[in-house]
């Protein structure tokens, strides 16, 4: 059963997450944690990870809003399914609800394809096409999330790259020292501290970006799965029975 009261639920969840994230970053800035992290990274890898994270988070917000609108639409169609007059109808290639044309969207395109297929074809052919159309719907709902998962993994790999560079800087500072007398120890320790800072800070930034982006795209994937299941459920219970005379 489709819950029609969940308007913009996915986008609201993302807004709660984004608000908490902004507050946490503001606190970290006020405490000097962020400035310390970026100042101790001469490789600028932390900056690259931060830019990727901000861009991917903005993409998550746009996708959450888009997915929420799609869920709202299928919820409204399900709510109106109690009357035969509110059943979606096909006028040429335009899908109508209560005589009003519906804009192109993931549920509308799926239902339009279903109605077009029922204009002709045998039951086995229709069943096969239902499966193919559902796969296409799922791909369209989740396809853009693949780039986000790639950026999430890339953030972690960049953090590990910074770890390697930091340890190389540490070992290089020791290997270039001709002797370890008292006059050289201070310079060696200073360079080792820089290398350790690069290793730890880039690893921390990469891990945090990976975890936070993974959480956001997991929410989006769950929303996409919900959209697909609600759309298919609506088609199977409210659209197809009217076409086959099973109501």
pLDDT computed for residue 122 by the predictor? 47
Assigned domain for 191 exists: yes
19-23, 97-101, 130-134: the lowest-pLDDT one: 97-101
What pLDDT digit, counting tens, does each position of 187-233 carry? 666 777 777 888 888 999 999 999 999 999 999 999 999 999 999 88
User: Which DSSP state fits 31?
Assistant: T
pLDDT computed for residue 17 by the predictor? 95
pLDDT grade, residue 117 (50/70/90)? confident
Asked if pLDDT for residue 168 goes beyond 90, the answer is: no
CA-to-CA dists, residue 1 to 107, 154, 234, angstroms: 16, 39, 9
Assigned domain for 131 exists: no
pLDDT computed for residue 128 by the predictor? 54
pLDDT grade, residue 1 (50/70/90)? very low
The contacts of residue 24 (CB under 8 Å, 6+ apart) are none
Overall average pLDDT of the 108-116 stretch: 83
Which stretches within the chain are classed as H helix? Answer: 9-30, 33-39, 45-79, 106-117, 123-142, 145-175, 182-234, 240-244
Considering the entire predicted model, what is its pTM?
0.83
Assigned domain for 150 exists: yes
pLDDT grade, residue 183 (50/70/90)? low
Assigned domain for 221 exists: yes
How many domains does the chain divide into? 1
In whole numbers, what is the pLDDT of the chain averaged over residues?
82
pLDDT computed for residue 150 by the predictor? 95
Domain around 66: 9-31+42-81+144-239
Q: Helix 182-234 and helix 9-30: axis angle, to 10°? A: 170
Q: Is 2 within 8 Å of 78 (Cβ atoms)?
A: yes
What pLDDT digit, counting tens, does each position of 4-15 carry? 446 788 999 999
Assigned domain for 103 exists: no
Assigned domain for 107 exists: no
Assigned domain for 87 exists: no
Assigned domain for 183 exists: yes
């Amino acid at each position: 059963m489709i819950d029609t009261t969940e308007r913009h639920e996915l986008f609201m969840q993302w807004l709660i997450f984004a608000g908490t994230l902004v507050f946490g970053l503001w606190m970290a800035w006020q405490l000097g944690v962020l400035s310390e992290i970026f100042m101790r990274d001469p490789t600028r890898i932390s900056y690259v990870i931060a830019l990727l994270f901000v861009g991917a988070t903005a993409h998550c917000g746009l996708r959450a809003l888009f997915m929420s609108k799609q869920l709202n639409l299928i919820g409204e169609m399900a709510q109106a399914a109690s009357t035969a007059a509110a059943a979606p109808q096909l006028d040429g290639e335009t899908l109508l609800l209560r005589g009003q044309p519906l804009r192109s969207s993931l549920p509308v395109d799926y239902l339009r394809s279903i109605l077009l297929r029922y204009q002709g074809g045998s039951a086995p052919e229709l069943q096969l096409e239902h499966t193919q159309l559902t796969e296409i719907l799922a791909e369209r709902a989740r396809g853009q999330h693949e780039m986000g998962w790639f950026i999430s993994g890339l953030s972690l790999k960049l953090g590990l790259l910074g770890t390697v560079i930091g340890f190389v800087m540490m070992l290089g500072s020791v290997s270039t020292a001709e002797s370890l007398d008292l006059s050289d120890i201070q310079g060696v320790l200073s360079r080792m501290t820089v290398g350790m800072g690069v290793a730890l800070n880039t690893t921390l930034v990469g891990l945090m970006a990976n975890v936070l982006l993974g959480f956001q795209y997991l929410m989006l994937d769950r929303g996409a799965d919900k959209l697909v299941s609600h759309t298919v459920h609506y088609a199977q219970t409210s659209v197809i029975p009217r076409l086959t005379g099973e109501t």
